[in-house]
Amino acid sequence: MSGPAKRVTIRDVAKHAGVSVATVSRTLAGDYPVQPATRHKVLQAVGELDYVRNAHARALSVAAPGAVAIVINSVATAYYSYIAQGVEEQATAEGRLCLICTTGGDPQRELAVVQMMREQRAEAVILVGSVIQDDDYKRRMTRYAHSLADSGSCLALCGRPPLGDGVPAFTVGFDNTGGAHAITTHLLSAGHRRILYLGLRLGQSTSDSRVAGYRTALADFGAVYDPELEVGCGYDRSSGYAAMKHRLAAGAGDFTRDFTAVFAATDVIAAGAFQAIREHGLRIPDDISIVGYDDTPPAEDIGLTTVHLPHAELGRAAVRLALSGKNPLVEAPITLGTHIVVRNSVKRVGNVR
């Protein structure tokens, strides 16, 4: 019995037609002028060899030009997937193919994706997510922006800070400082004065903006700022659980003298904190109040008061701006508003003014 048939490659087609691999690629892509006689030879070779193009390569060639690429850390996180959904919806409405690329937070993978999209002439590349705003990041993003602009594409930063003057990149983001100020004010208005901020990540753009809102709200209410109430942890459930458990153990004794409420930097962190608080024998909100941020699962399931972000609209706005034909060098950043979703995780305490 004979073995499986050898897969025909583009090189086989080129050899059979007597042309270069590049000519075969251009003929099949249909985006480059090819002499009729040459096109006929290539298509005849394709038929005779029963050549089936690689699905990934075919998708990329279809994507060029006119594709919108969104680059995110992971599709497994609701924050990113909701934004990606908005990008895909608007790209489809604009008659563009949407490519979703993940990096796992690796700058080298991000670079590789941007370079690939530049080569494939994607119309827009949308980078999503919080970043560490150091000099290396700014140099890398500036290089991306100019490289894409030189190829006729454009860079859109989604949920990331602007890069400054002279960098051809659009910016669309959330009012994280305003949202954090509002949710902290909600706790302060309920009588809480010792509010633990859970999820501090110094230097990260999203964390810095949310912490700024938290601190400003404390100052506006005349509440004493205590840096010991800002606790660092990763933006995931297990980190929230571990950080909250450690803090509760360290504050053994009169717990209420330490803090009466928790502002978790994300809903996922809040979910981990929920578990730790309950395992410690405390009730929410009777013994301790807690709020989150993002309004993503599992906020509604656990009855968490949180800040709602218009994730899908952020993605849609990024696509509209990127395809608008406007000049990114002069276009002002777009900032979307937020609002509080009140559920049942906050209790009024003390004498509320």
pLDDT at 201: 95
* Tokens of residue 44, six digits: 């005849």
Rounded to two decimals, the pTM is 0.80
Structural fold of domain 10-53: 434 Repressor (Amino-terminal Domain) (1.10.260)
Per-residue confidence (pLDDT) for residue 351, from 0 to 100:
59
Give the residue among 205, 183, 195, 200 at the shortest CA–CA distance from 299: 183
Q: Which CATH superfamily includes the segment(s) 176-310?
A: Response regulator (3.40.50.2300)
pLDDT for the residue numbered 191: 97
- pLDDT value at residue 222: 96
Q: Extract the residue ranges of the chain whose pLDDT is less than 70.
A: 1-6, 29-32, 52-65, 251-257, 351-353
Q: Cα angle at 233 between 229 and 239, to 5 degrees?
A: 125
Residue 322's Cα: distance from chain center in Å? 16
Residue 174, classed as helix, strand or coil, is: strand
Taking domain 65-174+311-336, whether its CATH number is 3.40.50.2300 is answered by yes
Q: In the chain, which segments carry CATH 3.40.50.2300?
A: 65-174+311-336, 176-310
pLDDT for 65: 46
Residues of each domain in the chain carrying CATH 1.10.260.40: 10-53
- Confidence (pLDDT) at 46: 82
